[in-house]
Amino acid sequence: MAYSRGVFVGLVIPQLFKEQTGAINYIGVDPKQRGKGYVYDLLDKGIVSLFERKVQSILADIDELNFPMEKSLIKTGFVEEKKLWVLSISLFQQQP
């Protein structure tokens, strides 16, 4: 979690995905703090945390309509590699 002058600004959850691959599992900036550049501080903290674990590459997945996060990731150096398919199953189907 990140604070600025005692005020919560957001959080980042880096994850060790494989031995040499990490992931930014979640990143979020408090809605009241958006637009102030804190996303870059959070990304930086997540990247440094994974770098310290000797990670060689970092994955980040986002919703396809999350253009602000896409812009932030690209500005930080992330590049789009491929699209992700999400599959689901409903375990509780409604009866007709």
Per residue in 8-47, pLDDT (tens digit) is: 999 999 999 888 999 998 999 999 999 999 999 999 999 9
Q: Is residue 92 part of a domain?
A: no
Report the amino acid identity of residue 52: E
pLDDT over threshold 90, residue 85: no
Number of domains in the chain: 1
- Is 72 a member of any domain? yes
CATH label of the domain that carries residue 25: 3.40.630.30
pTM: 0.79
pLDDT, mean over the chain: 89
Helix (H, G, I), strand (E, B) or coil at 71: helix
Q: Domain range for residue 56?
A: 2-76
Query: Would residue 67 count as lying in a domain?
Result: yes
Model pLDDT, residue 5: 87
CA dist list (Å): 16 to 20, 49, 51, 94: 8, 10, 10, 38
